[in-house]
Structure 1
Amino acid sequence: MTARSTRCTTVAKTRTSRLAAVAAIAVAGSMLLTACGDQTEGAKKPEGGASKAPVSTAPLFSKLPADIQKAGVIKVGTDATYAPMEFKKGKDIVGVDPDIAAALSKQLGVEFVFESGTFDTLLTALPTGRTDIVMSSMTDTKARQEGLDDKGKKTGTGVDFVDYFSASTGILVKKGNPENIKSLDDLCGKKLAVQRGTTYEQAAKDQAAKCEKDGKPKLTFESFPTDAEAQTRVKAGGAVADLNDSPVAAYIAQTAGGGKDFDAVANKSDAGYFGIAVDKKDTQLRDALKEALDAIIKDGTYKAALDKWNAGSGAIPAAKINGGS
């Protein structure tokens, strides 16, 4: 099924905090770090010099790796162009993923600081230490777990995923659905627009091959750096549809042009997981995130974050590690 892909090439063996360290608030002789603060692009590196490791009364603070405890920050790579999951509102990055991160922050006692980049570069930033995790509506796939490209070639060590959301393919079409698109098979003989580096680019390739195998007219597609550009192509009539994640397609159809630009068609048979990507070596961080996610599922803050953005249909009953296929 779903979502988005891979960044960078610099090697760094130690984590560095290029984002502003979270402020510590004195409470009864201990330090409590909370919430998901300034989620802005291009945060500055902290000034040099030794920093004292913060102490937190958050339930799962002790589960985090020592370097993250000391920094007080989890650096999050995202592509903030994907409403309602993650997008910019002024200088802030808002949406489903930042709100889930805010809930996780209260369990872990550190700040989640989001920095936006191009989707197809996000995963390669993890081994460099530029980011600690990727949280960007990224579909958990075996290929990403194993570090394989779309041709099955090994390009890295791969990542582990902490799965937190379920979504299916959404087909975004012009308002009124003039081509009467009801499924992926209806796209044979048509032209698609997709975001580059996403699983939907691969889905377009796979559907094109299926159309040919079934003896149907040829499907063609054009890839763009952002999904916004793919949407523009559909709106202008240069493509009949944009493949997307179901909650995103539904949100775009509801909001773009006051709800007058697009319709969304859900293909519910191919549901899959979005996961928080973590470098393979960071098993302690991965396990802490899973435990925190299970905690917010149990206490209801997870579902509240989804419902705020009308994305409750994607809720899962428990966190999974590498549940994708």
Structure 2
Amino acid sequence: MTASTTRRTTAARSRIAAVGAIAVAGALILTGCGDQTNKSSSGTGAGDSSAPLFSKLPKKIQDAGVIKVGSDTAYAPMEYVDNGKIVGVDPDIAEALGKQLGVKLQFTSGTFDGLITSLETGRQDVAISSITDNKKRQEGLDDKGQKIGKGVDFVDYMSSGVSLLVKKGNPDNIKSLDDLCGKTVAVQRGTIYEDTFKAQAEKCGDKKLTIEAFDTDAEAQTRVKAGGAVADLNDFPVTSYIAKTSGGGNDFEVGGQQSDVGLFGIAVSKDNTQLRDALKEAVDAIIKDGSYAKVLEKWNVKDGAVQSATINAGK
């Protein structure tokens, strides 16, 4: 698996859908850390012209006071719905960006595979949804290299790889994929993580790696917790979140370092370079003022920090 692989497949995303996400699909909710409410808002009205980067924004967004954000809010801890509120790493980063830009970043929940299309149609201004920046998305190509759209630009704000989820205490001392040879792993069926395990099984050769595939990742986690498998595999932020929250942090831990590291980016239409550049400055600003680090620390994903924002740095 390469860094350009689309990590968030439909199957992969379904296994961590937050409770109640379906009920709010398509509903518009304002981002926020602790003060987010269910009150409806048109989101209209001029932004805060005194904000440091307000002048960098396109006039249309200055006048509206809002950047419309498309997101598939079913990917804890990056973005998910909790008690009717969109919460997570990305919403908190968006709130910090909004303070620099003097506007609100207003999230609309939708399907992941429709996010880039929503930028091309103008329905949304940006997409923030743990989207891996890669050349195919930049150039508007499908998996076969065929042109399917204009493509988008990315403002890269976080790195993420894949990580092994092991039983608390790591009794089998699993620190890398190579440590899995001769053992049994559990994974959700039909995901890229199953493909990764299959590729590793070929590398293991006679020292057989046994793969048990389940309909849901929750079942795979249960198998690891019970000791029937030594590891599950997932995106680093998700693995880290499960390790922190399951059983009060007593069920699992992350085995070794993340691998296959790529970049998450804020997707912006190629026709909207002014907004793209303003967002890059805003990401750099929140890195500099420390608010970025506080968000990653809060959600236990600080290993995903980048030193500065980049544009289209994905491979």
Kept in 1: contact 2:96–2:292 (CA 8 A):
yes
The 1:252/1:6 distance shift into structure 2, 3 A limit, reads: closer
1:66 corresponds to:
59
Deviations 1:233-261 (CA, angstroms, capped at 9, x unpaired): 43257987543222321221121122244
Secondary structure, aligned partner of 2:239: helix
1:323 corresponds to:
313
Paired residues for 1:1-325 under 5 Å: 1=3, 4-5=7-8, 46=42, 53-54=46-47, 56-175=49-168, 181-185=174-178, 192-194=186-188, 201-202=191-192, 204-205=194-195, 208-209=198-199, 211-212=201-202, 215=205, 229-235=216-222, 241-325=231-315
Structure 2 unpaired stretches of 5+: 11-26
Letter in 1 for 2:75: Y
Q: Give the structure with the higher percent helix.
A: 2
Distance (whole Å) between structure 1 residues aligned to residue 211 and residue 148 of structure 2: 27
1:12 corresponds to:
none
Distance (whole Å) between structure 2 residues aligned to residue 208 and residue 231 of structure 1: 20
Structure 1 residue 278: deviation in Å? Answer: 1.4
Letter in 1 for 2:284: D
Distance (whole Å) between structure 2 residues aligned to residue 70 and residue 109 of structure 1: 11
Distance (whole Å) between structure 1 residues aligned to residue 48 and residue 186 of structure 2: 51
Distance (whole Å) between structure 1 residues aligned to residue 243 and residue 167 of structure 2: 9
Kept in 1: contact 2:213–2:220 (CA 8 A):
no
The 1:203/1:257 distance shift into structure 2, 3 A limit, reads: closer
Distance (whole Å) between structure 1 residues aligned to residue 158 and residue 269 of structure 2: 19
Structure 1 unpaired stretches of 5+: 8-17, 23-33
Letter in 2 for 1:304: K
Deviations 1:6-29 (CA, angstroms, capped at 9, x unpaired): 89xxxxxxxxxx958x9xxxxxxx
Structure 1 residue 312: deviation in Å? Answer: 2.3
The 1:103/1:230 distance shift into structure 2, 3 A limit, reads: same
Distance (whole Å) between structure 1 residues aligned to residue 187 and residue 241 of structure 2: 18
Structure 1 residue 266: deviation in Å? Answer: 3.8
Kept in 1: contact 2:70–2:108 (CA 8 A):
yes
Letter in 1 for 2:309: A
Structure 1 residue 212: deviation in Å? Answer: 3.6
Distance (whole Å) between structure 2 residues aligned to residue 67 and residue 222 of structure 1: 49
The 1:124/1:254 distance shift into structure 2, 3 A limit, reads: same
RMSD after superposition: 3.7
Letter in 1 for 2:236: S
Q: Which moved more, 1:278-287 or 1:231-240?
A: 231-240
Structure 1 residue 290: deviation in Å? Answer: 0.1
Distance (whole Å) between structure 1 residues aligned to residue 214 and residue 112 of structure 2: 13
Quote the sequence identity (%): 56
Structure 1 residue 91: deviation in Å? Answer: 1.3
Structure 1 residue 222: deviation in Å? Answer: 5.8
The 1:69/1:89 distance shift into structure 2, 3 A limit, reads: same
- Give TM-score, length-normalised by structure 2: 0.75
The 1:130/1:249 distance shift into structure 2, 3 A limit, reads: same
- Give TM-score, length-normalised by structure 1: 0.73
Deviations 1:78-104 (CA, angstroms, capped at 9, x unpaired): 233333322222111122211111111
Secondary structure, aligned partner of 2:52: coil
The 1:101/1:190 distance shift into structure 2, 3 A limit, reads: same
Secondary structure, aligned partner of 1:122: helix
Structure 1 residue 131: deviation in Å? Answer: 2.2
Structure 1 residue 129: deviation in Å? Answer: 2.5
Structure 1 residue 309: deviation in Å? Answer: 2.2
Letter in 2 for 1:245: D
Q: Which moved more, 1:110-119 or 1:240-249?
A: 240-249
Secondary structure, aligned partner of 2:105: strand
Kept in 2: contact 1:163–1:321 (CA 8 A):
yes
